[in-house]
Amino acid sequence: MPEDALFAEVLDPGNRADPYPIYARLRRTPVARQRDGAYVVSTHAAIRSLLFDPRLSSEDLPPSRRPRTGNPLKDWLLNPIRNRVANAHRPLIFRDPPEHDTLRGFVMSEFTIARVNGLHGRVAALVDGLIEACRGRDTVCLVDDLSYPLPVAVICDLLGVPEQDEPQFHAWATRLATALEPDARRDEEARRETVATFDAIADYMRALIRRKRRQPGDDMLSGLARRDRPGMGEVDLIATAVLLLVAGHETTVNLITNGMLTLLRHPDELGRLRADPERAPQVIEELLRYEPPVHFRTRKALGDIAVAGTTIPKGAPIVLLFAAGNRDPERFPEPDRFDPDRTDIQHFGFGGGLHYCVGAPLARIEAEIALVALCRRLRDPRLLADPPPYRPGASLRGPENLGIRIGGIL
């Protein structure tokens, strides 16, 4: 495969189970221009050098364009206004400073360490309940039985979203997660579906925020919905709420599922974690390096940028291939070996720079509690299929389901 077509191979679903050989080829040219004009950055040093570069913009989503309906009022008046508003008030991961910093500051004022740490007991109880529900079975599907329902229940608790509404936003969240995929951005039909999905979940959030203002609770959404927040208007509040709901479980599903898959492929490490749960934090950090939940994010160059011997021209799309940097042999000895005893693991498992994942502390807690409980309570777990079937996305990469045969529940 020619070097300028390698990223297309990354996006090919046929390579989802093991994209790492392609990443190794990409690292030979740390900044590689692809046929579509995008520049893929794949080495640890090159990615790190760009993460705080103000010439990199996150405002790279295509303009919002709602499809024609045949209704002149909507097509010539209402939808153009809605498009302008949507383009000006994207979720904060698609915003640059200073607007990004203002919105992130509001989120962090509610996403406190005390609030996150206070969820330990709730997460542990949820995990035990989900595992207990599998008693009497000889197989489990990790995604359906734990990896998906756990983060959904936790983010609903955190935001104050009624858990019984989860079936409504399950499909919405799955659809919006694909908006990170370059293929979806270029496909007109996919873009229309994304816009329609965002409108639907935004309408849901708008109604929920109204209820929170009438009857506020001790949750993040009630806190964010306070009206004394200059810099976060109604549209920004709704976009932020949608982002937190979707991002709050999509990546954690992958972290837990990829983590258990990796441990089942390394039974010695599974046994060590079972015997010594205190190892969990270092196991999670190595998992974030070795099998991260997010493999890449896209950016746009605001000016010419010289990096690793290549000049990225102004206006060019950029792909920060985090998962390739995580396995860079120039940064990590034996990078393709899963080794929780590593030290100095400066990975990109939660991205980096201004857009470092705000939910990273919560994701770590959920993954640690879930993986320790799974290792200790599942008797003789074995994979039903390896590799398992994967979800379509290349950016948010993880198994669609993970079948495990078990000898019982302890």
How does pLDDT run across 362-371, given as a tens digit for each residue?
A: 999 999 999 9
pLDDT band at 128 (very low <50, low <70, confident <90, very high): very high
Phi-psi region for residue 380, left (φ > 0), alpha (ψ -120 to 50) or beta?
left
Sorted by sequence, the CB contacts under 8 Å of residue 44 that are 6+ apart come out as 325, 326, 328, 330, 331, 332, 346, 348
What is the value of pTM for the model shown? 0.91
We report the CATH number of the domain holding residue 329 as: 1.10.630.10
H/E element, 317: strand 317-320
User: Does residue 392 have a pLDDT over 80?
Assistant: yes
237: its two tokens: 């509040």
Sorted by sequence, the CB contacts under 8 Å of residue 401 that are 6+ apart come out as 141, 142, 143, 144, 388, 389
Is residue 61 a part of any domain in this protein?
Answer: yes
Is residue 315 a part of any domain in this protein?
Answer: yes
Dist CA 109 CA 106 (whole Å): 5
Is residue 361 a part of any domain in this protein?
Answer: yes
Can you give the pLDDT at residue 75? 67
How does pLDDT run across 68-94, given as a tens digit for each residue?
A: 777 777 767 777 777 777 777 888 899
Mean pLDDT of 177-202: 76
H/E element, 307: strand 305-307
Report in angstroms the alpha-carbon separations of 17 from 202, 228, 275, 389, 400.
33, 48, 30, 8, 11
Radius of gyration (C-alpha) of the chain in whole angstroms? 21
Is residue 410 a part of any domain in this protein?
Answer: no
Q: What domain range includes position 340?
A: 3-405
Is residue 374 a part of any domain in this protein?
Answer: yes
Is residue 394 a part of any domain in this protein?
Answer: yes
* Number of compact structural domains in the chain: 1
Report in angstroms the alpha-carbon separations of 339 from 145, 261, 279, 334.
28, 15, 12, 9
